[in-house]
Amino acid sequence: MPSDALFGPSLSTDLMLVTVSDRAWVQAMLDVEAALARAESRIGLIPATAAEGIASHCRVDEFDVAQLGRAAVRSANPVVPLVNALRAAVPKDAAPFVHRGATSQDILDTAMMLIARRGLELILADLEQAAASAAALADRHRATLMAARTLLQQALPTTFGLKAAGWLTAIVEARSDLIRVRRTRLAVQLGGAAGTLAALSDRGLEVARELAAELALPEPILPWHTARARVVELATALGIAAGVAGKVALDVVLLAQTEVGELSERALAGRGASSTLPQKHNPVDAIEILAAVRGLNAQVAVLQGAMLQEHERAAGAWQAEWPALAETLRLAGGAAFRLASLLAGLQVDPDRMRRNLDLTGGRIMAERVVMLLGERVDRVMARALVDAAVATATSTGRPFEAVLQEDPAITPYLHRDELAAALDPAGYLGVAGLLIERALAAYHAHREEEE
């Protein structure tokens, strides 16, 4: 469900844009204020009626989000005007208990964790779909021959199934890391003005524990006001997941080139069209993934740089995190969504793969000839003989097999039938089949663990 916005937001999805919108941030902050009031009520710090009165007004629809944003400029964060507005909205006898013992960063950082958790749910769902499609491709194309390419040159035969299995394993690993971050690193923040919880006297740890339970977030060992590793870990995990999507997208873009033509995106009316060239079918899912990855990498760098924070409260670095993390989620969400779409509709052309594999006239099998010949003559000599045959085949345009069969230095050691077998790409795939099995087994084991 891609957004209809023109530029940056178009690389995300409608659901993710809503999840990280200003309204969503305000609601998340209100969720924290409501949870704080309930937590303090449960241990007897504030009256239950006050907690109920506060929680009942923690709804974003009661507040002017745009006005809160304008007012936030005066205090360098949006929590100050939000707390003032919430105090004005709740019953008069509940107003003194709003935000008790907390500081702005407690509310905003914990809200950030809630936003991240909600965003991660969307990304994880899309990565799950992408993994399922990659697994299906790996299984279906176990024996589909293609050229493996190193430094963009044909290297050896492989199968498209193994390439898809590589995508699958990378997706599963990236998704597992995001699950770990979601479960263990999205912690509650509660430290008060300077990280000591002094305003809550000796009840601070109780409040933190109850707040964590209320929000279903882990309770950290200490407040993490200026210890920002968990924010960077989240961003890095998102960056890795997007990078995995980008790797798949780059493979697809390269294999979809007209001169290669081994893969293409699903053809949909108007999707991938050119403004001037009717014949073009551009790989737009892959293109948008690659754009999103580049934008996301810049945001991860911002968050990494924001780790340098002064003492117990940062001057500027903390403020830089909010838009950067929101943009990281936006772009990672867009990349994951498009990856799922790309793999679900990927069109594979096995015949074109085979024709491209044959473009070198058999020279792609030169290593196998070296290995076979090296069993019967000195390995260095074998390499020199095959190098010479490759050079002759390349310069003359003759089939590699014909050159080998006419070489008097080679034919005494390799008979005609042996040479023909040695030049069969299907016979030189190593353990590709076993590797595909391992990737699929690991994927299915991962799914069973989740269930």
Give a yes or no: residue 445 inside a domain.
Answer: no
Domain housing 187: 8-352
Q: Is residue 243 part of a domain?
A: yes
Among residues 42, 266, 271, 313, the one annotated as catalytic is 313
If you write DSSP's letter for every residue of 401-417 in order, what string do you get?
Answer: HHHHHT-TTTTTTS-HH
Tell me which residue has tokens 């760098």. Answer: 301
DSSP code at position 9 = G
Residues 38 and 69 in one domain: yes
Residue with tokens 């990737």: 439
Q: Residue 385 has what pLDDT?
A: 97
Predicted confidence at residue 269, as pLDDT, reads: 63
Query: 60 and 38 share a domain?
Result: yes
The answer on 287 and 371 residing in a single domain is no
103, 88 in Cβ contact below 8 A?
Answer: no
Same domain, yes or no: 241 and 370: no
Kindly give the pairing relationship between strand 145-150 and strand 263-264.
Answer: unpaired
CA distances from 8 to 12, 41, 155, 422, 443 (A): 8, 43, 38, 52, 33
Please check whether residues 307 and 397 belong to one and the same domain: no
Say how far apart CA 288 and CA 8 lie, in whole Å.
Answer: 11
- 3 occurs within a structural domain: no
Question: Are residues 275 and 389 both part of a single domain?
Answer: no
How many domains are there within the chain?
A: 2
Choosing from 352, 386, 414, the residue where a domain stops is: 352
Whole-model pTM?
A: 0.94
From first to last of its 451 residues, what are the pLDDT tens digits of the chain? 344 455 555 799 999 999 999 999 999 999 999 999 999 999 999 999 999 999 999 999 999 999 999 999 999 999 999 999 999 999 999 999 999 999 999 999 999 999 999 999 999 999 999 999 999 999 999 999 999 999 999 999 999 999 999 999 999 999 999 999 999 999 999 999 999 999 999 999 999 999 999 999 999 999 999 999 999 999 999 999 999 999 999 999 999 999 999 999 987 666 665 667 566 678 899 999 999 999 999 999 999 999 999 999 999 999 999 999 999 999 999 999 999 999 999 999 999 999 999 999 999 999 999 999 999 999 999 999 999 999 999 999 999 999 999 999 999 999 999 999 999 999 999 999 999 999 999 999 999 988 7
Considering the domain architecture, whether residues 96 and 182 belong to the same structural domain is answered as yes
HSE toward the beta carbon, residue 325, CA cutoff 13 A: 31
Give the whole-angstrom CA distance, residue 239 versus residue 421.
45
The CA-based dihedral angle spanning residues 220, 226, 230, 232, taken in that order and rounded to the nearest 10 degrees: 180
Considering the domain architecture, whether residues 249 and 382 belong to the same structural domain is answered as: no
Residue 155 domain-assigned (yes or no): yes
Helix (H, G, I), strand (E, B) or coil at 216: coil
Asked if 274 is an active-site residue, the reply is yes
21 is catalytic: no
Residue pair 335/127 in contact (Cβ under 8 Å)? The answer is no
In DSSP notation, 75-106 reads HTSSHHHHHHHHHHHS-TTTGGGTTTT--HHH
Q: Which tokens is 201 given?
A: 């006297």
Alpha-carbon distances of 74 from 71, 258, 417, rounded to whole Å: 6, 56, 84
Q: Are residues 31 and 90 in the same domain?
A: yes
Is 245 among the domain residues?
yes
Query: Which residue's entry shows tokens 């594979």?
Result: 348
Inter-residue contact 423 to 401 (CB < 8 Å): yes
With 0-12 / 13-18 / 19 or more C-beta atoms within 10 angstroms meaning exposed / middle / buried, residue 16 is: buried
Looking up residue 206, the CATH number of its domain turns out to be 1.20.200.10
Whether 176 maps to a domain, the answer reads yes
Assess whether 247 and 392 both reside in one domain. Answer: no
Q: How far apart are CA 280 and CA 313, in angstroms?
A: 54
- Confirm whether 446 is domain-assigned: no
* The last residue of a domain, from among 293, 321, 352: 352
Task: Decide if 434 is inside a domain.
Answer: no
Pairs from 297-300 (Cβ < 8 Å, separation ≥ 24): 297/239, 299/235, 299/324, 299/325, 299/327, 299/328, 299/331, 300/232, 300/235, 300/236, 300/238, 300/239, 300/328
**Are the CB atoms for 197 and 100 separated by under 8 Å?**
no
Domain identity same for 198 and 322: yes
Same domain? 341 vs 388: no
One-letter amino acid at 373 equals: L
The candidate with the shortest Cα–Cα distance to 189, out of 166, 165, 207, 171, is 207
Q: Which of 23, 75, 183, 274 is catalytic?
A: 274
Domain C-terminal end among 299, 332, 352: 352
